[in-house]
Structure 1
Amino acid sequence: MPQSRVQEYITIAMFELLEKKDYAHITVQDLVDRAGVCRASFYRNYFTRDEVIERFLDGIFTEAYPRESMSSANVEECILHFFKTALKYRRQLRALLQRGLLDRVSMAFYRQTLEQIRHLQVLNNKYQPYFFSGASAAMLCAWVENDFAEPPEEMAHIFMESLQGYMELT
């Protein structure tokens, strides 16, 4: 995830604070104090606290699905890479779950799913990205809620089984 040093410090500060207190009680001042940067640096990089989390999640998806990396021939490999990437950020995902913020994963999934569907040129209707991103986000959230009980390889297999089950219906 390419970030400036200031963005990295602020992101780290956000998740350290989320491990200790509710999101509603985290202020910009808390973030800059924890990150060791000035308030102006925060506002040069972000408009709101929400943007810190949004960019973090977008960064996970960018890392998990490098632009133009997925094709119809390597879907399972890409899904496995996604679950491995998510596991790498388990501490942050747990913090989002703990504070009731895991629902933000859905919008990040939607943006990434729409990009992939457009890249693969498989957009069938305007609701398709919502369908796939919703199911994928729910699966990731369930995995986080189950404390990453299954290894990424098993999660990728479950994902592909579910997808194949859907495809057999059509």
Structure 2
Amino acid sequence: MESKAYSTITVTEIVRRSGVARQTFYRNYPDKDRILVEFLCHQFNRLEPRLAREAMSIEDLYRAIFQAWKQLIPPSLLANIRLADRKIRQIIFHSVTAVFEQQYSMYGLAADFVRSEFHHYASRSLSSVIHGLLVEWSLQDFKQSPENMGKLAHRLTESIHRYYLPAVL
């Protein structure tokens, strides 16, 4: 991604550059997108020790996500966001969704709610808001502070949280 757009990179190029066999690649990843999803999840999960150590509000969690995004996302990914690569945006959405599923589990959602169809929609709505803010914030060259973005994210998602995480609020 440092030298070409993500959408134009092929699995053949990845295996050739990494020095692994195509079969090894597919044994570990169903496609090239999974590599990037896992990378982004890993970057976000670097927050986990801090989240476990500190009692964080939802707004604090959002602020931490924006801080991590600004600090840990490589320039090549930002360049691909600026190229308006739809695939990159889908991958960011999937990674945000995966991270939220993991992080929100620590807030003790009731098992019947987690299994409900409503949980699916609430989770995707939250992910969509944060994903959109991360992408737009990147396109605006991080003009707002992570603190301000955390506040904005919290305000935009407050109504979802009333249903999704009532015990936290």
Cα 1:81–1:131 change in 2 (3 A) is same
- In structure 1, how many angstroms separate the alpha carbons of the residues matched to 2:157 and 2:65? 15
Task: Report the equivalent of 2:40.
Answer: 57
For the aligned residue pairs, the C-alpha RMSD in angstroms reads 3.2
1:44-123 aligned within 5 A: 45-66=28-49, 69=52, 73-88=56-71, 89-97=73-81, 98=83, 99-100=85-86, 101-122=88-109
In percent, how many aligned pairs have the same letter? 22
Point out where structure 1 has 5 or more consecutive residues left out of the alignment: 1-14
User: C-alpha separation between the residues in 2 aligned to 1:128 and 1:166?
Assistant: 6
TM-score scaled by structure 1?
0.69
Please, which runs of 5 or more residues in structure 2 have no aligned partner?
none
1:162 to 156, 159, 167: 156
Change (3 A) 1:119 1:167: closer
Contact 1:83–1:156 (CA<8 Å) still a contact in 2?
Answer: yes
Of the three residues 115, 118, 122, the one matched with 1:128 is: 122
TM-score (norm 2): 0.69
Deviation string, structure 1 residues 58-107 (Cα, Å, up to 9, x no partner):
21221234596398753333222211110121514313412331222112
Which structure would you say has the larger RCO, counting Cα contacts within 8 Å and 6 or more residues apart?
Answer: 2
Q: Is the 8 A contact 1:29 1:39 kept in 2?
A: no
Whole-angstrom CA distance in 1 between matches of 2:27 and 2:15:
12
Q: Number of residue pairs matched?
A: 151
Instruction: Write the deviation string for residues 25-60 of structure 1: whole angstroms up to 9, x where unpaired.
Output: 31223224444x233554454332111111112212
Cα separation, partners in 2 of 1:67 and 1:122, compared to 1, 3 Å: farther
